[in-house]
Structure 1
Amino acid sequence: TTIPLVLGLIFGLVFFLFPHSYVSFYNLESGISAEAAGYLRIISLGIPIIFLILNFSGIYIGSGRSDIPFYFNAAGLLCNIILDPLLIFGMDPFPEMGVRGASLATLLSQGVVLILFIRHLRRKNGLLGRFRFLIRPHRKYTLNILKLGLPVAAMNVYFAFINMNLARTASVYGGYLGITSQSIGGQIEGITWNTSNGFSTALGSFVAQNYAASKMQRANRAFRYTLLMMGALGVVVTVAFVWLGEEIFSLFVQEREAYLAGGDYLMILGFSQLFMMLEITTQGMFNGLGKTTPPAIISIFFNTLRIPLAIFLGARIGVSGVWWAITITSLFKGSILFIWYLTLRRKN
C-alpha cells in the first residue's frame, strides 16, 4: 500500500503542476485545450486514490475475494452515473460546471470507492487481520514487488504512450472525427477489454496459488476454461462490432458523420477482438507463473510498431489505416504470445 500511494502522489503532482504540457501534445484548439487542462488538473487529485483502489483490488483478488472489488467499483460507477448530469448540466442545488463537473464527479466517485475499501479492510474481522496501510518499505519485499510489477507497469505505461501518439495520428488523418472515433470507440471496446482483464487477473491469482502448491494440472485446466469463455465472448463482440458498429456507436453520438466514422472504427477493430482476448488471457497465465517479461516484450514491440504502421497506412487510405494498424498488431500479439506459452509449456 505504501508503494502505490507514493507513486500515485508523484504522478498526481506532475499532472497537477504541468497539465498544459500534456494537453499541448494533441495540438488542440486553445479553448478546448484550456478545458482539457482544467479537467486534467482536477482528475490529478484522484490519481493517488486510483493507485490505492487498484492496490486494494489486487489484494482482494489475490485472496480469492474478487466479488468485493466488483461491488465497490460498481458502487463507484453508479455514483459517477448519478453525479455526472448533476454537476455537468447543473440541478438544484448543484451549479452548472461543464467539463469541470465531469472531472469532479469522477473524483468524488473514486473517493467513495476508496472509503468502501478502507472501511471493509479496517473491520475487526477484516482481510489479512487489519494490516497497517503505511509502513517503512522492507528492501527484500520491495525488490520482489518491483521485479514482478515493473514489466507489467512498463508495458501499461508504454501502451498509454502509444495510444497518445495514435490519437495524434488519428487527428492528422481524420480530424476531430478521428479523435472522436478513437476516444468513444475505445470506451465501447473497453467493455470487452476490461472484461478480459478481469478474467485475466483472476486467472493469474488462481494459477499463482496452484503453481505454488505444485498443482499445475488445475492451473492448466483453469487456463483452458478461461480461454473458452473469452473465446465465446470474443466471437460475440466480433460479430456485434463488424455488423452493428454504426448502430452501437449511434447510441452514444447522434451526429451522422461521427457515428459513421465510429462504425468504421468498430468494424475494423472487431476483427482483432478474439486475438486481443487471447493475448490478455495468456498474459494472465504468464503473470500467475511469475513470468511477466514475455508479455511485456511482445506488447512493447508490437505496440511500438503501431506508430510507423499507422503513419504508413494512414497516408495511403486515411484514418482507417490507423485502425488497421491497431488490428494487425493485435493479431500478431495474441498469436505470438500464445505460441510462446505453448513452447514454454512443452519445454517444462
Structure 2
Amino acid sequence: METSSPLTKKSLNLLQGDIISTLTRLALPIMASALIQMAYNLVDTAWIGRLGYRSVAAVGAAGMFIWFGDGLLLLSRIGGQVYLGQNLGRGDFAAAQKTVRAALQLTACISLTYTILQFVFTPRLVAFFHFTEASTIQQAETYLRLVGLGYFFSFTTRVYTSLVTVDGRSKISMYATIIGLLLNFVLDPLCIFTFGWGAAGAAIATVFSQAVVFICFLWATRNEKLFRKLRILTCPDFREWRKILRLGLPPALQTMLYSSIAMVLARMITEFGDSAISIQKVGSQIESLSWMTAEGFGVALTAFIAQNFGAGQWKRTKQGFNKACLIMTCLGFVTTSILIGLPQYIFQIFITDPQVIPGGISYLRILGLSQFFMCLEIITAAAFAGVGQTALCSFIVVILTGARIPLAYYLIHTSLGVNGVWWAISLSSIAKGIILTVLFKIYETKLICSRQSEI
C-alpha cells in the first residue's frame, strides 16, 4: 500500500489547520458553483415565465423526473466520494484510484440507462400529472425527451465534482460551472425566443452547456494524479461497484422516493389547475437559495468528515460538524427573512399574471418558515454520509417526507386549499431538521467517542 499522501501541492489539506477556515475554503467554490447554478435556474425560469404559465408548468413537471435522476446519480456519487475520502485519509492511493474508476464507470452505466428508459416512456410519465391543457402536455414531453440527452454529461460532471472535492480541488468545479452557465445565459434567450423553439429551446441550451462543462472537467483533470491512467473502458471491478452501491443505495432510494412523493403532491396540485404547478416550479427555484447553498456546503462537509474519520481524527470530525451547523444556521435565518419579508417583489420577477402572484406569495411565506430546519437536515445528512452511515438518515427522511402525502391530502380539503400542500412540505422539513440533528449528536457521542477511547 502506498502510504505517502496522494494530495497534490494545490490540494487543500483537510486533516490539519483551522476547521472553519478549511471548511470555508473547500466549500466556497462549491457554494459559488451552486449559487451560479441557482442564478441560472432563476434566469431560466424567468425566460420561460415569459412564455406563460403553461410552459412553466411543463418544465416543472419534467423537472420532477430530472430530480428522480438525481437520486439514481447518488448510487455512484455518495459511495465514490466517501470511499475516496477514506482511502485518501489512510494514504492508500491505489485503492483511491480504484474507487475513482469504479465510480465513473458506474455513473456512465446509470446515466445512459436512464436516458433510454425516459425517452421511451415519456408520454406515460407526463400523463401521470393529468394536465388539462394540450399545450402543457406537448411542451412537457418535448422538454423531457430533449433534456434527457444530457444526463450522461450532467451525471458524470457531478460525480467529478464530488471526487475532486475530496482531493481538496473544489475550484475546478467552480470554474467549469461558470463556463457552462455563462454559455447557458447566452444560449437560453437565443434558443427560446430568437430561434422560436420555446421550452424546447431551454432544454437544448441546457444540454449543450452540460456537454461543454463535461469537456472542461476532462481537460482540467487530464494531468491530475487521481485521474491519470484510469482505464475507464476496461472490465469493471464489480466488487468495487457493489461497495459503492451499498453505501449509495440508501440516499439514492431516499431521493428517488422523495421525488416520487413530490410527483404525487404535484398530481394533487393539478386539481387546482395547471397554474398551481407553475407556482410550485417558480417557488421552488426561489427557495433554492438556501437548499442549493446548503447542499454545496454539504458536499464539502462530507469530504471533510470522510477524510478525518478515515484518519481516525474523531475530535476533529465532531468539531467540523458543529461548526458547519453554525454556518448553516446563519444561512437559514437569512433565507427565512428574505422569503417571508419580500415574497411579492421576488415572485413577480418570474410570473406577472395577477391571478398567479397571490398563490406565489403564500408559497414563499409558508416555505420560508422551514428554511433554517431544511439547512440543518441537509448538513446533517452530509455528516452521516461522511462517516458511512447513510441508512438511518435515509430511513428517517423517507418516513417524514412520505408523511407529506396524507397530511397534504387532509389539509387541501380544509379551508387552506392548495396552501395545505405547502404547509405539509414546510412542517415535515421542520421535523426532519430537528430529528436528524439530534440523532447525529447521539451517534457521534456513542460511536466516535467510543472509538477514540479504544485508541
TM-score, structure 1 as length reference = 0.95
How far the C-alpha of 1:127 sits from its partner, in A, is 4.3
Question: 2:231: which partner in 1?
Answer: 132
Cα separation, 2, equivalents of 1:134 and 1:247: 52
Is the counterpart of residue 61 in structure 1 residue 195 in structure 2?
A: no
Cα distance, 1:130 vs. partner? 4.6
CA RMSD of aligned residues (A): 1.3
- 1:82 is matched by which residue type in structure 2? V
Is this contact kept in 2: 1:2–1:135, CA < 8 A?
no
Query: Is it true that 1:10 corresponds to 2:113 in the alignment?
Result: yes
Cα distance change, pair 290–37 in 1 and its aligned pair in 2 (3 A): same
Provide the residue aligned with 1:25 in structure 2.
Answer: 128
1:136 aligns to what SS in structure 2? coil
Task: Give the aligned partner of residue 41 of structure 1.
Answer: 145
Indicate if the aligned counterparts of 2:130 and 2:270 stay in contact, CA closer than 8 A.
Answer: no
Corresponding residue for 2:189? 85
Contact 2:122 2:144 in 1 (8 A): yes
Question: 2:163 corresponds to which letter in structure 1?
Answer: I
1:214 alignment partner in structure 2 = 312
- The answer on whether the counterparts of 1:181 and 1:262 sit within 8 Å (CA) in structure 2 is yes
Give the aligned partner of residue 337 of structure 1: 436
| Separation (CA, whole Å) in 2 of partners of 1:130 and 1:63 | 17
Whether the aligned pair in 1 keeps the contact of 2:289 and 2:335 (CA below 8 Å) is no
Count how many residue pairs are aligned between Structure 1 and Structure 2. 342
Give the Cα separation in 2 of the matches to 1:342 and 1:223: 9
Q: 1:106: how far off?
A: 0.7
Report the Cα distance in structure 2 between the residues aligned to 1:299 and 1:183, rounded to whole angstroms: 22
- The equivalent position to 2:281 in structure 1, one of 168, 183, 200, is 183
Shift of 1:175: 1.9
Give CA deviations for 1:13-52 in whole Å, capped at 9, x if unaligned: 0111121111111111222211210111111111122211
Q: Give the counterpart of 2:412 among 314, 317, 329.
A: 314
Which among 247, 256, 262 is matched to residue 354 of structure 2? 256
What amino acid does structure 2 have at the position aligned with 1:156?
Answer: T
* CA apart distance, 1:219: 1.5
TM-score, structure 2 as length reference? 0.73
Partner residue in 1 for 2:424:
325
Superposed displacement of residue 258, structure 1: 1.8
Describe the SS at the equivalent of 1:65: coil
Structure 1 position 103 matched with structure 2 position 221: no
Mapped contact 1:122–1:130 kept (Cα < 8 A): no
Matched, 1:300 2:404: no
Q: Superposed, which structure 2 residues align to 1:135-154 within 5 Å? A: 135-154=234-253
In structure 2, what is the Cα distance between the partners aligned to 1:288 and 1:167? 32
Maintained 8 Å contact 1:247/1:263: no
Check whether the contact 1:180–1:262 (CA below 8 A) recurs between aligned residues.
no
**Distance in 2 separating the partners of 1:112 and 1:159:** 30
Whole-angstrom distance in 1 between the partners of 2:234 and 2:296: 29
Paired amino acid for 2:431: F
Instruction: Describe the superposition over 1:74-118 as per-residue Cα deviations: whole angstroms up to 9, x where unpaired.
Output: 22122111100001111xxxx321121111001101111111011
Deviation at 1:57, TM superposition (A): 1.1
Residue in structure 2 matched with residue 242 of structure 1 by the alignment = 340
Note the C-alpha offset of 1:191. Answer: 2.3
Task: Give the distance between the partners of 1:299 and 1:15, measured in 2 at CA.
Answer: 26
Contact 1:279 1:337 in 2 (8 A): yes
Letter matched to residue 2 of structure 1 = Q
CA deviation string 1:233-290 (max 9, x = no partner): 1001001111111211112111222222111101000011000000101111111100
Counterpart secondary structure, 1:256: coil
1:144-181: per-residue Cα shift (whole Å, max 9, x none)? 10111111111111111111111111221x32332111
Specify the code of the residue in structure 1 equivalent to 2:208. L
Residue 39 of structure 1 aligns to which amino acid in structure 2? Y
For 1:261, the aligned partner's letter is G
- 1:151-230 alignment, distance < 5 Å: 151-172=250-271, 174-230=272-328
Matched residues in 2 for 1:78 and 1:315: separation?
44
**Alpha-carbon contact 2:172-2:220 (below 8 Å) kept:** no
- The structural deviation recorded for 1:64 is 1.3
